[in-house]
Structure 1
Amino acid sequence: MKPLPIGIQTFRKLREGGYLYIDKTQNIYNLVQNPSGTYFLSRPRRFGKSLLLSTLEEIFLGNKELFKGLWIENADFSWKKHPVVRLDFSKQKAKDTEALIEFINNQMNYIAEKYSVKLENQFYYERFEELISKLSLQEKVVILIDEYDKPIIDHLENTEKAVEMREVMKGFFTILKGNDSHIRFLLLTGVSKFSKAGVFSNLNHLDDLTLNNMSSTLVGITQAEIEENFSEYIEATMSELKMQREDLISKIQHWYNGYRFSKKGEKVFNPFSTLQFFNRMDFQHHWFETGTPSFLIKQIIKQNYDILTIPMQVDELSFSSYEVDDLQLTPLLLQTGYLTIKDYNEERSLYTLDFPNFEVKEGFLKYITKKLYKKENTDSLLYKIIDALNDKEFEDCFDYLREIFANIDYDIQIHQEKYYQTIFYLIFTLIGLKIKAEVKTNKGRIDAVIEDQSIYLFEFKLNGTKEEALEQIKTKKYYEKYLNQGKSIYLIGAEFRDKNIGEYIIEEWKG
């Protein structure tokens, strides 16, 4: 078996080391054959953006020997050597604009020295322009910029500083437009797509690949690529986990597949999680655990973001970009990889956004719950709830629920019915039960439905009684939707009182 390229982001190292490589060069060729392509690509962290740029660098340096056996080797590509300006902003940890400018200048100096170019200007953006101009005297320049947005993202919790960093980057990138005649190829990558009024206000010539069907599988791993490239690892994992091939692939899909980056794009697996899975042969939250979304969670709580709306239907303007001083959570969640495109309604021009897979959904909801819940023993309580529910020990079940509600951080409690529904939804989702909130029927909406060995219909009242809640279920005949499933149906009316679950009433539907 070829070794897995865990943590390898350098194309040369990957090829010379004989590591497993998924051939993306046909996708890449579609970009590089454009004689003056200028592109932008937003993708979540650890999704292969750096390896993509490294691959492009070797192509434009004319190193054809590294591509032996790959699709592009036999393509009608000239392999002409170009000077390459590659800037990696993931390496910077600038605390302020002065440190960021110093980092940029150091990068300029390194590249200038490599190509024996002397820079005479003092200002960072003028030095960038001078570098491009002097390098282009040899051949047109290729510019590859990795994680362009990191200097801004690092300071999103401090809006004023984030705006300052944005202005530095804006000045830097402004140079690109006036020098397009010197540029053979340009690709900027990052996690975020800020609005064109922000960082890219003067770069209206950029071809945005982010939602383009043609580039939907440029990074990430398709189902066909899994089966073609990982066959030996699949066999080894089948033996290790004692699973049949079909069951194993289905479970890998459930955990790590599901990312879709355009209207009609093919779904792709998270490459980081997939590699880690085959390396460890263990289903874990590999990608999620490499970077907990603490800032996102703070914003969700601060903005009282309704996670019960996930999955949601939105138009493209609702998620295509956002701005530093006006953070919108839906585009932020999508671009960081916690949501993805699940469907597109052509007639209504609406996208359906949802969690991409089980890894992200469970990891995300569990992280939110741990931030809300003040005690450490969340998991043990969750197991007690499911045992009590399965045994129809409803009094114990509600006592455990009350214990969780009682330990929600007081500072973030909200006296709204939606807040209580959200906590309830989180609890039962983390237990692993099939729970749906705000379920539509032809008579209205059920607050929550749990489908397990039995079916449980919940109606909550913040300013009403348990009897009123139960009567609403009966009057609107919410149960009718579930009558033909051959399962017991329980109708549950519950009150919310004093920031907790108050009294409740349960009836089994007998017909």
Structure 2
Amino acid sequence: MVLKKIPYGISNFRTIMEEGYIYVDKTRFIRILEDNPAPYIFFLRPRRFGKSLFVSLLQYYYDINERDNFSRLFSDTDIGNNPTPKHNSYFILYFNFSALTTTSGDSLITSVKLRTEQSLVEFKRQYDLTIPLDTSGSSADMLTSFFSGLPSEMKGRVYVLIDEYDHFANELLSFNFDLFQETISRQGFIRKWYEALKIGTQSFVGRIFATGVSPVTLDSLTSGFNIADNITRLPACNEMMGFTEPEVKELVLETLPHNIYSPELVLTLRDYYNGYLFSEDAETRLFNSDMILYYLKSYLSRQKPPEKLLDMNIASDYGKIGRLMQIKSPEQNISVLQEVLSSGQVTSRLTDQFSMEKKFSEDDFKSLLFYLGLLTIRDNMPGRVGLQIPNYVIHGIYADFFLDLITRRADYHVDTESVSLAIEQVAREGRCEKLVLLIEELLHAFSNRDYIGFDEKYVKIVIFTYATMSNLYLVKSEYEVSDGYIDLVFLAREPWKPDYNAIFELKYLKMKDATKERIGEVMEDGIRQLMQYSLSPELSSIDNLKKWVLVFSGDKCVAVRDV
């Protein structure tokens, strides 16, 4: 069998189909879009979920200039075997609003205008049109003038594709809230741009498909563009982007040679990258497509898993999200973050459209985390949904956020070299003295006032984050076994082979309660729990399993027991 190439970082449909890359067939969703009663659609997914590739798919499927290439591009796809009547019947007008300049209001206006002009010039070139393009006014004026100059025989046959419609807005939301509000306000130039696009639908624009990450601008945009349908949570579209588990299995089998293929690989990928559900009425959970392709690309080139589970491109995207904690109500948002990290789940009424002119509620913030891919649907309940952290990698991102938050609050710098040495001591020597010392140093940086309300969940978050920073272990928080939930578990993960695995039971006493007798009581309780847990089928077969009970009070670990 000739193995297919892994299309990591490639979002051009033609390149994938013509140059030997594997394509996970999403063409069946074209029929769903065509059957949707509203021809003007917004569809949201987190970053790196295949949005740009899907837009490229629509471009090649509907472009009238690609009619002669239809068989070559689509013959091996679902839609190629049963095409819709509208294939290759539109003039494609494509806008990409990623990487706009957002340093100031003027630079953003200039950037949007330039991107609009580039798209219109390309449209004219692609279809050999000689209509004039007036660039003297705003981007909205340019768009209005363009539609008024189109020849009448094109009426109703322009398909507008908009990729990353909200990229600039998410950037502004995280660092320049005033400019964000000004941009999307009633008089804002972005709203005017969409009003001009709406005028185009009265004559020439037959269909619109716009992708983005979050609905933070939809409330303002759709006030002047109230013809669009947001199908983000439509159950029929749950699998339109991202990979199902059968699709991941196909990827593994068709891209990896047999000598490095492992049957356990899909189970590993499920643990790291699966878990996303985008409709409360759907059932199939999805893998982040970019994360899967990153892992397989590294696995193929190194013949072993990547050292770091999170692609640096994704890490840089999510790194900006820490600034979102400052939106409107920082203390409220931090409280939500603490709730998510301590329990792994929350409930919320999902917000379909945000209005930043109104109060930004806890449900709004939880919903924003959902759209960003930091929370996903766990289950449905009357009027609300249960939300949870989707997978191991995202759990690590949360822990990094929170560690950064508390170290800044304590004015404490984390020494990454010391963290690596501490986790290596656990892995190679089966000892935890260095790890305990690091936790004590961080706790000592807090004032006595900060210990009010402090408990073991904060210690657990810090240990979890330190362990994930080292990349030596697959670290589990609240690890479920037949007899209960273990606070923390360090499990060996490839390509590393630590000499010891470890489980921790954590206890925290307020300083006024930390008597010798009480410390002894909670220690005995922890020992009993660990002995019970270690007999479970999930752990009984693990070799060299270290079991520790750690009791903290104030800024000290007042008792340690190697069980």
Q: Which of 101, 111, 125 is the matching residue for 1:93?
A: 101
| Structure 1 CA distance for aligned equivalents of residues 37 and 130 of structure 2 | 26
Q: Which residue of 2 aligns with 1:110?
A: 121
Offset at 1:8?
1.8
CA distance 1:135–1:70, shift in 2 (3 Å): farther
**Counterparts of residues 104-503 of structure 1 (less than 5 Å):** 104-106=112-114, 107-108=116-117, 109-111=120-122, 113-114=124-125, 115-120=129-134, 122-135=137-150, 137=152, 138-140=154-156, 141-156=158-173, 157-166=175-184, 167-182=188-203, 183-194=205-216, 196-236=218-258, 239-240=259-260, 244-245=262-263, 247-263=264-280, 264-281=282-299, 282-283=305-306, 284-287=308-311, 289-292=313-316, 293-300=318-325, 303=331, 304=334, 305-306=337-338, 307-317=340-350, 320-323=352-355, 329-341=365-377, 343-346=378-381, 348-366=382-400, 368-369=402-403, 372=407, 374=413, 375-383=415-423, 386=426, 391=431, 398-406=436-444, 414-418=450-454, 421-428=457-464, 430-431=466-467, 432-436=474-478, 449-450=487-488, 456-461=505-510, 464-466=513-515, 470=519, 484-485=532-533, 493-496=551-554, 501-502=555-556
| Structure 2 CA distance for aligned equivalents of residues 468 and 196 of structure 1 | 59
The gaps in structure 1 that reach 5 residues or longer are none
**Counterparts of residues 33-112 of structure 1 (less than 5 Å):** 33-34=35-36, 37-62=39-64, 63=66, 64-65=70-71, 66-78=73-85, 79-106=87-114, 107-108=116-117, 109-111=120-122
Number of residue equivalences: 484
| Structure 2 CA distance for aligned equivalents of residues 491 and 269 of structure 1 | 35
Offset at 1:50?
1.0
Provide, for residues 21-68 of structure 1, a one-character-per-residue CA deviation record: whole Å limited to 9, x for no partner: 111110122113447511111111221111111111122213223222
CA RMSD of aligned residues (A): 3.8
| Structure 2 CA distance for aligned equivalents of residues 145 and 425 of structure 1 | 40
Offset at 1:377?
2.2
CA distance 1:224–1:58, shift in 2 (3 Å): same
Offset at 1:470?
4.4
The gaps in structure 2 that reach 5 residues or longer are 300-304, 468-473, 491-501, 536-545
Offset at 1:254?
1.5
Q: Which residue of 1 aligns with 2:496?
A: none
Contact 1:469 1:493 in 2 (8 A): no
Q: Which residue of 1 aligns with 2:542?
A: none
Q: TM-score scaled by structure 2?
A: 0.74
Identity of aligned residues (%): 20
| Structure 2 CA distance for aligned equivalents of residues 400 and 27 of structure 1 | 51
Q: TM-score scaled by structure 1?
A: 0.81
Provide, for residues 384-424 of structure 1, a one-character-per-residue CA deviation record: whole Å limited to 9, x for no partner: 67469955x7x76533421343468x9xx955434874254
Offset at 1:147?
0.8
Identify the range of structure 1 (222-231 vs 395-404) with the bigger mean alpha-carbon deviation.
395-404
Letter aligned with residue 367 of structure 2: P
Letter aligned with residue 401 of structure 1: I
